[in-house]
Structures are given as structure tokens and as C-alpha cells.
Amino acid sequence: MAATNQKEEAATEYVESHKVLQLIDNMTAMLVFHQPKNPRKFLIENLEKLKIAQESGFHFPTLISDENLVAVFDILDPIQRGYITRDQYTTALQTLGVEKFNNYPIGAEINQINKQTFLREAKEGLSKSAATYKE
């Protein structure tokens, strides 16, 4: 029994430390979202993109596009002041599924986070969330 528990623990540690479940979840979500005619080719291409992102530090592609992020900002700034509050920023990133982000980006000190800052922080946070490799 002890050997079985050790193997289970080692397997669990491996899966968690290498983010295997997150990788499978992200790849499945991308497949369902894009519904490519050739799923295997699509998976291979996205795994290659992940490898490039890991090696180069480039952002890994996510389901949320730049246009989507602009739309989120614009919804939060309906009178086009050019900024959102820190609370809006935090809530938006959490709603988008970003787990780790800069809590005090440029503009937070005056409670005015502009679109450029929001987009940069959102892309970086989404990329980190989509980074299904050991950091």
C-alpha cells in the first residue's frame, strides 16, 4: 500500500508541477472555440506556439482577443473618460479569469487606469494564466 501511495503522490506532484491538467483544459477550450477542420494539426500548431512562448517569453495566445479587451474597457468607460477605476480594473481582470496581476498598475495611485495600461496588464495576466508550462 505504501508504494502505491508514493506512486500516486509522485504522479500528482508531476501533473501539478508541469500544469498538465491546465494544458489539456486550455487545448480543449481552444479546440471547442475554434473548431478546426483538422484538430490534430491545430493542436500541434498550438503546442508549437506554447513552446515558442516558453522559450522566448512571447505571450501565449488566449481565447480573449485584443478586440475583446478593448470592448471590456469601453464597457467600463461608457462616457469615454479615458480611464477606469482600480476597482473596475481588478474586477474586470478577475472576471476574465486572470489570477495573478499587478494590483497597483500605473494610474492606480490616482484611481485612473488608462486603456493602454489596462490592455497591457490584461494581456500579460491572460498570457500568464494560459502559460501551461512550468515557470
Q: Which pLDDT tens digit goes with each residue over 91-133?
A: 999 988 888 889 999 999 999 999 999 999 998 888 777 665 5
In angstroms, the CA 73 to CA 98 distance is 15
The pLDDT of residue 61 is 60
Q: Which pLDDT tens digit goes with each residue over 60-77?
A: 666 677 888 999 999 999
Residue with cell 494590483: 103
Q: Which pLDDT tens digit goes with each residue over 40-58?
A: 999 998 888 777 777 766 6
DSSP secondary structure string for all residues of 79-101: T--SEE-HHHHHHHHHHTT--S-
The number of CA neighbours under 13 Å toward the Cβ of 134 is 7
pLDDT higher than threshold 70 for residue 135: no
In angstroms, the CA 104 to CA 63 distance is 25
Rounded alpha-carbon distances, angstroms, from residue 8 to 2, 15, 17, 18, 121: 10, 11, 14, 15, 38
Helix (H, G, I), strand (E, B) or coil at 109: helix
pLDDT higher than threshold 90 for residue 18: no
pLDDT higher than threshold 60 for residue 134: no
Query: Which stretches within the chain are classed as H helix?
Result: 2-17, 20-34, 39-56, 66-76, 86-95, 115-130
